[in-house]
Structures are given as C-alpha cells and as structure tokens.
C-alpha cells in the first residue's frame, strides 16, 4: 500500500492537495481542502518554483519581474516505466489587464523514459524544489505545519 501526492494547488486562502493510495486491488483517490493559512515554508516552496518556470519556458529574466505566481503542480507517473513527471501551473498578473495570464509548463519527466530518449527532462534543481513543495504539502495535510501553529508556538522545536 503506497500513497502519493498527485496535485498541489494554492489560491489564498485555500490549499488543495490530491492524493492516490494504491490498495491491494484498487486505487483510492482523495482530495484534501483546507482554508487555514499555510505555513510560510509552503508559500516559499511555491515561490521557489518561479525561477524553474523561467528556465522551462525559456523566458527572459526581466519578463514580468515579481508578477509571476505559481498556483499549482500536477505530478504523474508513466504507466509502463513508472517514471514520474510534473506540470507546473501559474499566473502572471499583467499590469495593463484585469485578467491574469494563466499558464502550464509542458509535462517534463524526472528522467528519460528510455536510454535512447532525447526528450527534455526536468532539471535536478527543479526536481529538488518540487520534492520540497511535496514535503511542505504533506506537513500541511498532516496538520504538523500551518501558519497559525507557528503563531501559537505549536510544533516548534
């Protein structure tokens, strides 16, 4: 039996985390939704993905400075190879428009699907940032790391 996070979304104040749990004969999909403010570390983990999005989308570093927000990540596994990959979603609040520019990166696997594959894969630093996001989301879902807990001194060492 294994459980993994498949999607993490944040639109203040709501955090939404999707999971899959592989049981003996079936797959249990669950959605955890909470409006309790996330810990600053979860917000920082989302923000840390911005530089990786610039790299993936090959955007110039001066495009939309400080206007980009990461709103979610979807993780998937290839059915045959079991290689994991991710899509990063976000928005850019354009100063001259009332509606944001919303985007998804291309799906990038964490490693090649085969030895002969020349397809782009997720950069090692981006994978590390995605794993940090997943850790923070798990702590939030478990209730061990939330913003209000820090204010109350709960869970601090």
Q: CB-hemisphere CA count at 13 Å for 99?
A: 3
Instruction: Specify the number of domains making up the chain.
Output: 1
Low-confidence ranges of the chain (pLDDT < 50): 151-152, 156-157
Report yes or no on 20 lying in a domain: no
Q: Which helix (H) or strand (E) holds 141?
A: helix 124-142
Report yes or no on 155 lying in a domain: no
What is the spatial distance between Cα 149 and Cα 76, in angstroms, rounded to a whole number? Answer: 31
Report yes or no on 141 lying in a domain: yes
pLDDT value at residue 101: 94
Report yes or no on 31 lying in a domain: no
Please state the three-class secondary structure of 19-53 as a single string: EEEECCCCEEEEEEEECCCECHHHHHHHHCCHHHH
Report yes or no on 150 lying in a domain: no
Range of the domain at 71: 37-111+118-145
pLDDT value at residue 157: 45
pLDDT value at residue 148: 66
Residues for the chain: how many in total? 157
Report yes or no on 11 lying in a domain: no
Report yes or no on 44 lying in a domain: yes
- 3-state secondary structure (DSSP) of residue 8: strand
pTM over 0.85: yes
pLDDT value at residue 150: 53
Report yes or no on 8 lying in a domain: no
């Amino acid at each position: 039996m294994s459980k993994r996070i498949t999607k993490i979304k944040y639109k203040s104040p709501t955090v939404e985390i999707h999971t899959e749990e592989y049981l003996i004969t079936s797959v249990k999909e669950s959605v955890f939704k909470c409006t309790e403010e996330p810990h600053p570390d979860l917000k920082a983990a989302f923000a840390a993905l911005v530089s990786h999005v610039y790299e993936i989308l090959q955007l110039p570093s001066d495009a939309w400075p400080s206007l980009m927000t990461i709103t979610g990540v979807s993780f998937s596994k290839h059915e045959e190879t079991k290689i994991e990959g991710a899509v990063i979603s976000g928005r850019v609040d354009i100063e001259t428009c009332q509606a944001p520019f919303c985007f998804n990166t291309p799906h990038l696997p964490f490693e090649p699907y085969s030895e002969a594959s020349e397809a782009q894969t997720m950069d090692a630093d981006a994978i590390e940032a995605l794993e940090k996001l997943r850790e923070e989301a798990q702590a939030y879902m478990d209730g061990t790391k939330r913003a209000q807990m820090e204010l109350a001194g709960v869970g601090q060492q």
